[in-house]
Chain A
């Protein structure tokens, strides 16, 4: 099955084509849903079988390239449509198809009755197709195809309910914003590819990375430029500073989309890409530092915004931005495995949180403001329990999944970055636990704050709750794939062992080895559990027992509160500094002035110059015969005079 890995890409494509071409005529949700989900389920099986086949092989035989056909062959470029099966791509592919399958099933319930049901599954399958290309590509150009493809699907799905209002504008505005901001990142990625081609004469992973691995006289500055350009791409796709602004707006899409694309899979593409190019980043110390700083800053700022948002999906969106920041922090520290580990656990619990939120929104008649929830525990027990599990997981309480991955990142931040990195990371963890339990408590605990005469909350159907349970199990046990050395021994970290061949060269360049740490790591572990526990206690005290404290705090620090509520006014600043000036300049200076006045003016005045000349010349044509005769004689005289002068 490893050699037929393309089936995992072909199946979603077939699902897309089937539903896209016939879905509107079929009109039967069962068939459309079954085809859509079935394609992904089968793709998951393909990946799973390939995974076990790969596990059975000795480590040095695990990587495999499956070329299909030649895509671009010009000059030195030889790009295939070809797929790479290795430890890293298999991990990502399992997450994407596995979580993707669960969310497809959930969507059958969630989208039930929507007039665009078939369209939804069409787009969702197209998304998986693009995402699998991104992950499995054996070269940069095909990765870029997937990269842009997922951006397109994101665009289509954010604007899925294209006739709905979203905040101050429409869902399609949010969709366009996502696409355009992503394109700004893609621009960086493109330039990165150009530099790679210029220096390595190839865009295939194998060749580029092996040439980079032997350091053939390419200066560090070149690596820095390449890595920074690629990272610009990552900031777009993975919503990091300064390009994170699209992700919160992306919540305009249906909730399963937020879970699949804007939490579990697509937004981690940037993390995957950086990890895939680990050798390029490991050779670029400046770029690595930038990655770490941007990651840390994003994690922190997004978490502060998350503290005060009232829209259930907005809180989760900022939480996602913040968690992605953690992943980049890990990458920036050169801890590639830790970054991927957090991608995996985050996919479990964040997908669960979003699907839980979807279940709540579903049960609350599309209400999304957590101030209008409260006490939903007794109406939605499954949703509540699974949501709580996810909240504990993200808050970092052992032995849930989030604890191990986040703790590894914090530890790496301390051991490679120093106290400052650890400290900000730990404060962010504190905020995370706080806003997550604020969200949980305001939603499920306490007294109902909705009008129970009109709103009748209810638990969601089995199609939706079973996926929640599956993800809950994963959120509990998912962390065991990456147990720290202190607890599991020298070779106890399964994920690290598995990914070791992929990051070997990069680790060597960074002089990183699987160091075993001692009691200090245990101390930090205990410390972060305490931080999380205190934070949760605090959130419980404020939002369950004394809600007045929150209002009072908001009143005392009203300036800060409003700044956070308005997300540091970043959108407004971008509008004023970039969007409006470009539009205005284009309209007035370029079009109405340069084009119409100057260039066309020049053309038209040339034309009128000639018509004007013609007008003047016309005056010579007086129609008086004598005048012509005089001119004629004068002319003959001149000609004669000239001839005579030549002869002489």
Chain B
């Protein structure tokens, strides 16, 4: 096996940074902030370097690194990246950098602790995406909860304790199910091949052989755990609370990366490990996904709090992703993956913009605003473009993902029913309603109250951050090939192997 250190460097750069950070004096907040951004920027460049060494034409894990960890059970610290991992790593390092930069003004207290937790969180997230060992994956999956718990619990809004505990317990409940399933799978593998293995590639060969009656419970244990993270309807009620209470940075990372771990898990584990069960449950899960699309949009429509509106819109957007994943066509899965990225960019930008105005007025109530277009023209323009991207306007990123998911699901041999796509497509109407309605009430109309006249337009820092996101929003909209190429081979492999196991012809 070829050994390459670049992924290891990428994974541990933020950890080393976090350790060094401990030696900085806590009063020097500016230095700490700059240091945090610097570390995340280095990590970002390392991930770019990893991308440059990555061969997108190959479907298997690359840039691997393996150390034996628990030799008795043959569990190793084994990392590597296929296309899916690669694109998620890039998204993570990019968003973490922007988030730390955003927090320059948003986080006022305990800056050192905040920066520390953010860097640790980044390690956890990256670890989830690059683990090739199932136990290692689980360790990162759980570890990442802790910094997030503190970020919401310490720097959050008024009901931060409630929100952070709800977040923790919800996810924890799912994780425990998964842990039981992992141990069961591990023992089954031992009985099957008379050797302990937790290497994903080995398990891929074993999972499909598990008798269906047992396999379906394992599938459910994994999938419910991921579904909570996504969140798939009806496991979504932790999300609005967590988003509303979290500081802007928390919301951006939560929406941008954490939710994607759920959909990543579906693609990495649920489907390839248990293809028969995935096929069996695909209609049921797709139904929940479609319900989520409509439900999330309808509930978003009647929200009075901007952040809650965006949170519910996430439920709808992630519904598209899950639908695309379980439709299992090249179009829909590629669409789902690019939609994971899109949601990170667009919703991240929305949270940053909502956060920016919250910092000025300390309210997120839609009704408190109105007529700010002439007062903050640049802000209004940015908010419009980001909203349009979220609405799925062709030419911007959201359209590419939604269109591919819908057209793929429409002709999916696994779902074998047009109705999923048709009902889901009606979500595009509601998306236009809730976002444009919010936009109209906040930005247009006569100036609602005199206090708004003193609003300051975006600062250079805020502008640059959102503009950087916009670059990719337009890029993916006009020339998605740059990013879709990364995952093309691994998606093709996933679909080919799954459909071969199921003997479905595509």
> Is this pair of chains taken from one and the same complex?
yes
| A586 neighbours in B (Cβ, 8 Å) | 298-299, 301-302
Q: Is B170 an interface residue (CB 8 A)?
A: yes
Interface on chain B toward A: helix, strand, loop, or mixed SS?
A: helix
| A190 neighbours in B (Cβ, 8 Å) | 403, 406, 425, 428
Contact between chains at A69 and B436 (CB < 8 Å): no
Determine the distance from Cα of A496 to Cα of B446 in the docked complex, in whole angstroms.
51
| B137 neighbours in A (Cβ, 8 Å) | none
> Which candidate, A73-81, A266-274, A410-418, A621-629, is the interface stretch facing chain B?
A73-81
Contact with A along B417-429 (1 / 0, CB 8 A): 0100110011011
| A176 neighbours in B (Cβ, 8 Å) | 433, 436-437, 440
Contact between chains at B418 and A70 (CB < 8 Å): no
| B31 neighbours in A (Cβ, 8 Å) | none
Determine the distance from Cα of A595 to Cα of B231 in the docked complex, in whole angstroms.
14
Contact with B along A569-612 (1 / 0, CB 8 A): 00000000000001101110011001100011001000100000
Residue with the greatest number of chain B CB neighbours at <10 A, chosen from A77, A187, A583, A591:
A591
Q: Is B329 an interface residue (CB 8 A)?
A: yes
Q: How far does the Cβ of B419 sit from chain A's closest Cβ, in whole Å?
A: 11
Q: How far does the Cβ of A160 sit from chain B's closest Cβ, in whole Å?
A: 11
Q: How far does the Cβ of B45 sit from chain A's closest Cβ, in whole Å?
A: 28
| B406 neighbours in A (Cβ, 8 Å) | 190, 194
Contact with B along A128-150 (1 / 0, CB 8 A): 00000000000001001100110
Determine the distance from Cα of A590 to Cα of B429 in the docked complex, in whole angstroms.
18
Contact between chains at B429 and A148 (CB < 8 Å): no
Q: Is A640 an interface residue (CB 8 A)?
A: no
- Given A172-B444, A603-B170, A603-B237, A71–B479 Cβ distance below 8 Å? yes
Q: How far does the Cβ of B177 sit from chain A's closest Cβ, in whole Å?
A: 14
| B120 neighbours in A (Cβ, 8 Å) | none
Contact between chains at A75 and B237 (CB < 8 Å): no
Q: How far does the Cβ of A404 sit from chain B's closest Cβ, in whole Å?
A: 37
- Given A145-B394, A152-B388, A173–B440 Cβ distance below 8 Å? yes
* Residue of chain B at shortest CB distance from A582: B298
Contact between chains at A194 and B407 (CB < 8 Å): yes
Q: Is B147 an interface residue (CB 8 A)?
A: no
Q: How far does the Cβ of B480 sit from chain A's closest Cβ, in whole Å?
A: 7
- Given A149-B395, A197-B411, A198-B410, A74–B302 Cβ distance below 8 Å? no
Determine the distance from Cα of A179 to Cα of B391 in the docked complex, in whole angstroms.
12
Contact between chains at A172 and B237 (CB < 8 Å): no
Q: A193: which of B373, B404, B407 is its contact (CB, 8 Å)?
A: B407
Interface on chain A toward B: helix, strand, loop, or mixed SS?
A: helix
| B234 neighbours in A (Cβ, 8 Å) | 599
Q: Is A473 an interface residue (CB 8 A)?
A: no
Q: How far does the Cβ of B199 sit from chain A's closest Cβ, in whole Å?
A: 30
Contact between chains at B432 and A194 (CB < 8 Å): no
Determine the distance from Cα of A152 to Cα of B389 in the docked complex, in whole angstroms.
12
CB contacts under 8 Å to B, within A195-215, are 197-198
Contact between chains at B432 and A179 (CB < 8 Å): yes
| B394 neighbours in A (Cβ, 8 Å) | 141, 144-145, 148-149
Q: Is B445 an interface residue (CB 8 A)?
A: yes
Residue with the greatest number of chain B CB neighbours at <10 A, chosen from A71, A77, A190:
A190
Determine the distance from Cα of A595 to Cα of B296 in the docked complex, in whole angstroms.
10
Determine the distance from Cα of A155 to Cα of B432 in the docked complex, in whole angstroms.
11
| A180 neighbours in B (Cβ, 8 Å) | 429, 432-433, 436
| A71 neighbours in B (Cβ, 8 Å) | 478-480
Contact between chains at B425 and A590 (CB < 8 Å): no
Contact with A along B427-466 (1 / 0, CB 8 A): 0110011001100100111110000000000000000000
Q: Is A72 an interface residue (CB 8 A)?
A: yes
Contact between chains at B444 and A194 (CB < 8 Å): no
A/B interface sample: 9 pairs, CB < 8 A:
A24-B377, A159-B440, A162-B371, A162-B443, A183-B432, A186-B429, A586-B302, A591-B299, A591-B302
